[in-house]
Structure 1
Amino acid sequence: MGQKIHPVGFRLGITQEHQSRWFAVPERYPELLQEDHKLRQYIEKKLGRLAQNNAGISEVRIERKADQIDLEVRT
């Protein structure tokens, strides 16, 4: 029987990019990861499939720089 792999994980870095791009010191990593998750949930709730005005969001990318967050919402 063959091994099962996740298709997105298999293609990351080759045909697809990561959905988040940032670096954190190990102490702050869990905090920033939760913040990313909350941002994605909020955007999905307000604009995505769960909202009344479905905006047809296909992807949300998050890039962090020193003291700012760049959000890229693709439709």
Structure 2
Amino acid sequence: MKEVLVSPVKRIQIATGQLLSAATIATMQGIIILFIGYFIGLKFTSWITPFAVIVVMIVVGLVFSRVDFSKINRSKSKEADIFS
């Protein structure tokens, strides 16, 4: 994290990148579970349903990633200064 803090990039850009990274990982894990569920026998009522589920996964990933980063922001370490 020290290498990131000394880079010539704004801290908000670093925080946004980490937020999007965590949300992307969470969404990809959810898509894998959705894909496995389809082959196990999960049936959708409409063709729109999987896309709606993916949108909800993206929103939930962003919300919980932000909650995680807000907890980090309350800590007293130097790495947490990035989110203030």
Tell me which interval the TM-score lies in, with the shorter structure as reference length.
0.3 to 0.5
Structure (1/2) with the larger helix percentage: 2
Greater C-alpha radius of gyration:
2
